[in-house]
């Protein structure tokens, strides 16, 4: 078993990003600028957004946080997004999900200028990604592709099983792995909550990507020897074992599954760290007008 080490890969790429940000500052007298919009006080979202802001500063980006209480109206939020779209000092806009029930996330996502949509959630970016055209790629799937590249994991002709079909991870991941590029060229199976007998599919996976949000969902009896396992799980549980009072669990039973896998991502220290890199790379690309010249 070998580790797909998110800490190592993310630190390495962060250094490259910092160099590029330095060049932008030297030549154009400005920093790449990411704005995050956070609604309410969901514990997970607070943690993720704080980490995004911290990492921006660490690589020499400017970051701004726009906060609203849970009772903000959809209209107020859409007006703010329009304002951010028009602000020429802003390269990237993210609205942290989930949003309160009275706000339609699709409306908000479509309101973001696709040229600043560094989450890659806008239908224009999603469609362009599917066609293999320049686009912003959702941060977690993008981070996973960078990890597969770094460790030169063979993907062509492999059976990739994606467990989970969310807009944020499972669905875009399945598109990327089927594209005619590297990493990609896989035969892709998408399993989800309505799939009977998921084990039947996971047992055949050469590459298994799990984003289902259930602690230790994948166990050793569900995988074959030599499988490459990508665990996207971020299941937070209160714990007395850690300083923060929380412990993170993956969707994969690491102890059991790592006995059979050729490569596996740990949690924490795997995909979570790469997600930030995906977001930073998209923001940098936006500042350099690489996707939409
Ligand atoms: N919620 C969970 N993951 C993400 C993400 O990558 N972007 C946004 N905007 N919200 C999220």
- Domains, the chain, in order of start with CATH, read 29-113 (3.40.50.10860), 139-272 (3.40.50.720)
Asked whether 186 and 207 are in contact (CB, 8 A), the reply is: yes
**Beta strand 246-249 pairing with 235-238:** antiparallel
Of 117, 119, 206, 231, the catalytic one is 119
Tell me, yes or no, if 2 is annotated catalytic. no
Backbone angles phi, psi at 3, to 5 degrees: -90, 135
Q: Using a 6 Å cutoff on CB, does residue 119 contact ligand 1?
A: yes
Q: How far apart are CA 97 and CA 118, in angstroms?
A: 14
Q: Token pair for residue 281?
A: 């790379």
Q: Evaluate: CB of 55 within 6 angstroms of ligand 1.
A: no
Average pLDDT in the 72-97 region? 98
The answer to whether residue 152 scores a pLDDT higher than 90 is yes
Backbone φ and ψ of 281, nearest 5°: -65, -40
Q: CA 95, CA 178: separation in Å to the nearest integer?
A: 28
Q: Is 96 a catalytic residue?
A: yes
Burial 40-65 (b: 16+ CB within 10 A, else e): bebeebeebbeebbebbeebbbbbbe
Number of H helices, E strands in the chain: 10, 11
- Is 15 among the catalytic positions? no
Ligand 1 centroid, distance to 172 Cα (angstroms): 13
Distance 171 CA to ligand 1 centre (A): 14
Q: Over 90: is that where the pLDDT of 61 sits?
A: yes
Question: Which of 5, 20, 31, 52 does the annotation list as catalytic?
Answer: 52
- Ligand 1 atom showing the smallest separation from residue 36 Cα: 9
Phi-psi region of 160 (alpha: psi -120 to 50; beta: other; left: phi over 0): beta
If one residue of 168, 279, 280, 281 were mutated to test the ligand 1 pocket, choosing by the most ligand atoms within 8 A of its CB, it would be 168
State pLDDT tens for residues 104-131: 999 999 999 999 999 999 999 999 999 9
Percent of the chain with pLDDT over 90: 97
Neighbours of 208 (CB within 10 A): 28
Nearest-angstrom CA–CA distance, 240 and 263 = 30
Q: Ligand 1 pocket, 161 CB below 6 A?
A: no
Which one, of 6, 213, 218, lies nearest residue 98 by Cα? 213
- Read off the pLDDT of each residue in 263-276 and give the average, rounded to a whole number: 98
Residue 140 Cα to ligand 1 middle (Å): 9
* pLDDT tens digits for range 175-222: 999 999 999 999 999 999 999 999 999 999 999 999 999 999 999 999
Catalytic residue among 91, 96, 117, 206: 96
Predicted local confidence at residue 243, as pLDDT: 86
Strands lying side by side in the sheet with 2-3: 2-3, 263-264, 228-231, 207-210, 159-163, 187-191
Ligand 1 and 211: CB distance under 6 A: no
Q: How many residues does the chain have?
A: 293
Report the pLDDT averaged over residues 88-113.
98
Task: Provide mean pLDDT across the span 156-173.
Answer: 98
Q: Report the pLDDT value the prediction gives residue 241, as an integer from 0 to 100.
A: 85
Q: Which of 46, 51, 52, 96, when mutated, tests ligand 1's pocket best, judged by the most ligand atoms within 8 Å of its CB?
A: 96
Confidence at residue 226, expressed as pLDDT on a 0 to 100 scale = 98
pLDDT digits (tens, 9 = 90+) for 22-36: 999 999 999 999 999
In terms of DSSP H, where are the helices of the chain? 6-28, 43-58, 74-86, 105-111, 123-130, 139-150, 170-178, 198-202, 254-257, 271-287
């Amino acid at each position: 078993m070998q580790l797909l080490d998110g800490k190592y890969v993310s630190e390495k790429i962060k250094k490259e990003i910092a160099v590029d940000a330095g060049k932008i500052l030297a030549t154009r007298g400005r920093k790449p600028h990411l704005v995050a919009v956070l609604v309410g006080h969901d514990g997970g979202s607070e943690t993720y957004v704080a980490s995004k802001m911290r990492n921006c500063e660490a690589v020499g980006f400017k970051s701004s946080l726009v906060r609203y209480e849970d009772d903000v109206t959809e209209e107020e939020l859409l007006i703010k997004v329009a304002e951010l779209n028009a602000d020429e000092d802003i390269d990237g806009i993210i609205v942290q999900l989930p949003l309160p029930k009275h706000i339609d996330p699709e409306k908000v996502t479509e309101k973001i200028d696709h040229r600043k949509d560094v989450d890659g959630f806008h239908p224009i970016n999603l469609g362009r990604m599917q066609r293999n055209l320049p686009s912003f790629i959702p941060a977690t799937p993008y981070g996973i592709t960078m990890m597969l590249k770094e460790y030169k994991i063979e993907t062509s002709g492999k059976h990739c099983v994606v467990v989970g079909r969310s807009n944020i991870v499972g669905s875009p991941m399945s598109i990327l792995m089927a594209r005619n590029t590297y990493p990609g060229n896989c035969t892709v199976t998408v399993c989800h909550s309505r799939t009977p007998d998921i084990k039947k599919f996971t047992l055949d996976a050469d590459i298994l990507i799990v984003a289902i949000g259930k602690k230790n969902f994948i166990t050793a009896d569900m995988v074959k020897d030599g499988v490459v396992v990508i665990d996207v799980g971020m299941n937070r549980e209160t714990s007395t074992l850690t300083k923060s009072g929380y412990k993170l669990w993956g969707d994969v039973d690491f102890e059991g599954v790592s006995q059979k896998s050729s490569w596996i991502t740990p949690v924490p220290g795997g995909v979570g760290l790469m997600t930030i890199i995906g977001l930073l790379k998209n923001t940098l690309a936006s500042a350099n007008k690489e996707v939409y010249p």
